């Protein structure tokens, strides 16, 4: 790795200016904005591949946003190219249809010839392997404030072509306290989590609220796509099994969380194709997957991806963990959501989804109205149970729809 200034970085990027390269960049809250800004100055046009892109992404003519998981930073872009894919399969895109030309990382500073990807491992190891096999460029934003995490994100500096030094505080999401409705749902969901269970908690208010109901549990384990401050709260409450490693692929949260994971030997950051492999997930007894959704229909299908007739997020890891949990010994897959969408003024339990199904055949669907058993249950029982947890104002219409569709007599 050669550490360079901005002028040298621009020079190294110049050969790519005549083409339309694909640039893979760390997403979520680990995007290396300083390096990305240099790329945006140097390249008239390029394809930018990022997961869950946050605010501050380049948005101009010449930049096409590619992603299997749409974040708020590109959600309304006119140049968004959504790639439907389970997160476990995204690394395969780099070896097939979406090979990168440039990979941008946000890393620690080197230690004894090695760096750590810190809070964002995710799909980046696969991207690095692909770009190096093609003779492309790997650039690291070297930040002394990036926490050092162990696992698949520890890399030799020989894999990095250029380093660009930036000393800056990591971005954290805006803290959000769960509302009363989310707390009620979270309490219901927490009832399905037994002592000694292995947890995967998705992103959102309900998974966050679920954590507060788990403070009295003991021996909990973590095998998840991502985690945030909720895991730190469980650690402080003594709910986690301290003899077990906490496995994730990426994380984001408060400065306190970043300080806690820095050099923590119990935190193991692994690449996505390991953490999200349904077969690997299924090996964990009492695997308990908790995810949110925008809608659930009377057939037990969940839409967590599309809203208002357009892509909102993506499959993410939900389908990976639902399948893995269902195949685990004593596993439980829960989808939780409020029964009513106040902005849209409509039920979230619907006769048929407005968009593609993100996942299906869960163990339970939970709202503030109750818990609907889905698997194992007949299609009629599923529909009947879902109507009972729908908002009272929607139940009569759902009964009519279920009868018209042959789900109820």
Angle at the Cα of 27 from the Cα atoms of 22 and 33, rounded to 5 degrees: 80
How many whole angstroms separate alpha carbon 230 and alpha carbon 226?
11
Exposure string over 274-287, b if 16+ CB within 10 A, otherwise e: bbbebebbbebebb
**Number of helices (H) and strands (E), helices first, in the chain?**
13, 29
- Nearest in space to 189 (alpha carbons), one of 285, 275, 282, 292: 292
- Nearest in space to 72 (alpha carbons), one of 52, 51, 47: 52
How many whole angstroms separate alpha carbon 178 and alpha carbon 188?
14
The encoded tokens of residue 361 equal 């055949």
Question: Could you tell me the CA-to-CA distances from 94 to 22, 97, 104, 233, 261 in Å, in that order?
Answer: 10, 7, 14, 36, 29
Instruction: Evaluate the CA torsion angle 30, 35, 41, 46 in order and state its sign.
Output: negative
**Catalytic amino acids?**
225
- Nearest in space to 85 (alpha carbons), one of 250, 320, 299, 252: 320
- Residue 252 · residue 176 · CB < 8 Å: no
């Amino acid at each position: 790795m050669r550490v360079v200034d901005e002028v040298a970085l621009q020079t190294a990027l110049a050969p790519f200016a005549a083409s339309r390269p694909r640039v893979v960049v760390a997403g979520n809250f680990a995007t290396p904005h300083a390096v990305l800004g240099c790329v945006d100055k140097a390249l008239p046009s390029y394809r930018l591949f990022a997961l869950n892109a946050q605010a501050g992404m380049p948005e101009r003519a010449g930049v096409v946003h590619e992603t299997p998981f749409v974040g708020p930073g590109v959600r309304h872009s006119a140049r968004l190219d959504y790639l439907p894919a389970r997160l476990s399969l995204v690394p395969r895109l780099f070896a097939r249809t979406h090979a990168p030309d440039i990979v941008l990382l946000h890393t620690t500073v080197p230690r004894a010839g090695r760096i750590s990807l810190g809070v964002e491992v995710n799909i980046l190891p696969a991207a690095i392997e692909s770009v190096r096999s093609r003779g492309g460029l790997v650039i690291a934003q070297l930040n002394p404030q990036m926490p050092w995490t162990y696992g698949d994100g520890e890399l030799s500096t020989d894999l990095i072509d250029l380093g660009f030094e930036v000393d800056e505080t990591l971005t954290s999401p805006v803290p959000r306290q769960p509302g009363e409705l989310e707390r009620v749902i979270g309490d219901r969901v927490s009832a399905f989590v037994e002592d000694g269970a292995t947890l995967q908690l998705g992103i959102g208010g309900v998974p966050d609220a679920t954590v507060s109901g788990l403070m009295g549990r003991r021996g909990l384990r973590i095998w998840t796509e991502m985690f945030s401050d909720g895991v730190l709260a469980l650690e402080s409450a003594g709910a986690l099994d301290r003899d077990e490693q906490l496995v994730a692929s990426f994380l984001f949260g408060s400065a306190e969380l970043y300080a806690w994971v820095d050099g923590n030997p119990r935190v193991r950051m692994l690449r996505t194709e390991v953490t999200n492999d349904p077969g690997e997930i299924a090996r964990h007894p009492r695997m308990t997957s908790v995810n949110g959704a925008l809608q659930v229909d009377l057939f037990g299908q969940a839409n967590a991806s599309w809203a208002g007739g357009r892509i909102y997020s993506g499959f993410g890891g939900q389908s990976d963990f639902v399948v893995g949990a269902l195949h685990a010994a004593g596993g439980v897959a829960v989808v939780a959501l409020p029964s009513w969408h106040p902005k849209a003024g409509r039920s979230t339990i619907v006769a048929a989804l407005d968009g593609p199904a993100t996942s299906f055949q869960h163990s339970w669907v939970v709202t503030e109205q109750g818990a609907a058993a889905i698997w194992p249950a007949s299609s009629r029982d599923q529909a009947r149970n879902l109507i009972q947890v729908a908002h009272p104002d929607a139940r009569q219409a759902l009964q009519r729809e279920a009868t018209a569709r042959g789900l109820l007599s």
